[in-house]
Structure 1
């Protein structure tokens, strides 16, 4: 198959959506498909796919721009500048299938390829609102196949679109326990060796609730909070930390290559988002052997089961107690069961669904994928 993956952040950012889709693209290319990736970053060595650079204005430039329908946040502003180039390039019509999670503009640009016979697949990495909402710009959404990254999205959309339930994955050759590497990372970042480290890997945006996590950590006696992330609320986070977490807060920015050792440097992992589309960080923390403290939801139980530290994160007392328990137990999370989330397994499910979409055999409430039974149980 000839497949195009297009997203403004490719090769420019290493956030959840970019990591997930590039991992799928890489696996498909390694196993014989002709894969092209379009993004606004620069070419990287040793990628198994072909990369095409299309310029875009970075989302950081748009953080203070107004929020409007179609331009609701800095990511959509960036998407618009990328999609204009994508549409003019004519790339979409050269492939059997196109794939994106960018909405509205990248999705609209790729739909142009349908005139040349390309089938278009949308992935709900950033939410499924485009697939079911009839408000504002969401009325413009369409696709030939919908990849749903969690069971709630699949249940909501499977009768409307040809859909498959396919989660994100994990590279177990990169993420795994390594005490020596963790100690070295602590030393590199200037983190104390004698205090527990709680790690958050989250963007500084409202939905990630990083500031709420900081307030909970402040109630622990000596825990140090490390946040790997950036975003419009970084200034508020730094100011709050100076007030309630003096000498117990570090905001760091590391390349993707440094993230496995950052997980290894921590004693527990905290994620505060309530409405995740998936959450690659859950798998990364799990693979690294960290106890995971997160919202008790259908999604987290579907991914993690009931062996982690799940609670109602909106209740401060319950969250603080759960954090304290995760740090005091001394238990490291086992890796049993995580193999079903490895990228070769996930990419094979993408290939099967894309083949069905190209062949025209994918129908609403038809192609589900092997994770659908687990979703029904959840």
Structure 2
């Protein structure tokens, strides 16, 4: 299959959507599929797919720009800046299917009129609202296949679109229990470490995590991430966690060791489309504290001991203490994690897209 994966943040950011789709693209390329990736970063020599740089303005430049439909966030502004270059680089006749999770501008560019229109595959990495809503710019959404990253999205959309339930995963060769190296990140050796891997945006509730950890006597909170609320978060941590907080912005290659250097993992979003970080933390042997939802229980399976109502601070503090008391596992992959290997996930993408291609060919 000739597939194109397009997203503004490819090779520029190593966040959830970028990591997930690039991992699928790389696994498919290594299994023999003809995969092209377009993004605003630079080539990476270890990637198995073909990469083409398409310029875009960094999303940080848009943090103070006005937000209105369809430019609802700094990432939408970034998406708009990416689409002209994508239109120039994208040749519809070169692909059997195109894959993105970016709406609306990348989605619109990939659907431009053409004599041969490749299949349009949309992945709900950032939510299923484009596929579900019927107001404003969302009325323009259309796809040939919808990859639903959780059962809620599948139930909501399967009557309207060709859907497949496919979770995200983790690179189990990189994310696994093992010895820590706190000195590498400037972290204290004599305190329990709570790790949060999160953007500094309102929905990630980093401030609430800072407030909760401040109720613990000795714990150190490290947040790996960036975003428009970074200064507000630092100011709150300076006031509530003096000497017990650190914000890091790391390359993807450093993340497995950061997980292994922690004692517990917390993620505060009330509802994620999926949340790769849950799988990475679980694969690394960390107890996972998160907001108790059916969706997260589906992801974690039996590993739900430390889920709770994270909006209830006393309950959250108790769960943080309990997770630290258990501590991290330092050897062996946790039971059940194998189903989230990227090779397994990529096989599901291949089967879904190949089935759609066959279906189209039979109709014609």
State the TM bucket, normalised to the shorter chain.
over 0.9
- Find the counterpart in structure 2 of residue 226 from structure 1: 222
Q: Does 1:337 align with 2:336?
A: yes
Q: Does 1:158 align with 2:158?
A: yes
Q: Which runs of 5+ in 1 are unaligned?
A: 363-378
Residues 212/50 of structure 1: CA separation in 2 closer, same or farther (3 Å cut)? same
Contact map agreement 1:226 1:250 (CA 8 A) in 2: yes
Structural mapping, 1:116-195, within 5 Å:
116-179=116-179, 182=180, 184=181, 186-195=182-191
> Whole-Å Cα distance in 1 between the matches of residues 307 and 18 of structure 2?
27
> Whole-Å Cα distance in 2 between the matches of residues 90 and 260 of structure 1?
34
TM-score of the superposed pair, with normalisation by structure 1: 0.92
Contact map agreement 2:177 2:329 (CA 8 A) in 1: no
Deviation at 1:115, TM superposition (A): 4.1
- Find the counterpart in structure 1 of residue 350 from structure 2: 351
> Whole-Å Cα distance in 2 between the matches of residues 139 and 326 of structure 1?
45
Q: Structure 1 segments of 4 or more deviating over 4 A?
A: none
Deviation at 1:189, TM superposition (A): 2.3
Contact map agreement 2:120 2:143 (CA 8 A) in 1: yes
Deviation at 1:114, TM superposition (A): 5.8
Q: Does 1:324 align with 2:324?
A: no
> Whole-Å Cα distance in 2 between the matches of residues 102 and 228 of structure 1?
23
> Whole-Å Cα distance in 2 between the matches of residues 114 and 165 of structure 1?
29
> Whole-Å Cα distance in 2 between the matches of residues 252 and 81 of structure 1?
27
Deviation at 1:331, TM superposition (A): 5.9
Contact map agreement 2:264 2:327 (CA 8 A) in 1: no
Structural mapping, 1:188-227, within 5 Å:
188-227=184-223
Structural mapping, 1:242-321, within 5 Å:
242-308=238-304, 309-321=306-318
> Whole-Å Cα distance in 2 between the matches of residues 161 and 17 of structure 1?
21
Q: Deviations over 1:209-243 (max 9, x none)?
A: 11111100000111000000000000100000011
Deviation at 1:361, TM superposition (A): 6.2
Deviation at 1:31, TM superposition (A): 0.9
Deviation at 1:192, TM superposition (A): 1.4
Contact map agreement 2:263 2:328 (CA 8 A) in 1: no
TM-score of the superposed pair, with normalisation by structure 2: 0.96
Q: Which runs of 5+ in 2 are unaligned?
A: none
Residues 267/79 of structure 1: CA separation in 2 closer, same or farther (3 Å cut)? same
Q: Deviations over 1:9-66 (max 9, x none)?
A: 0011110101100110011111111100000111110211110111001101000001
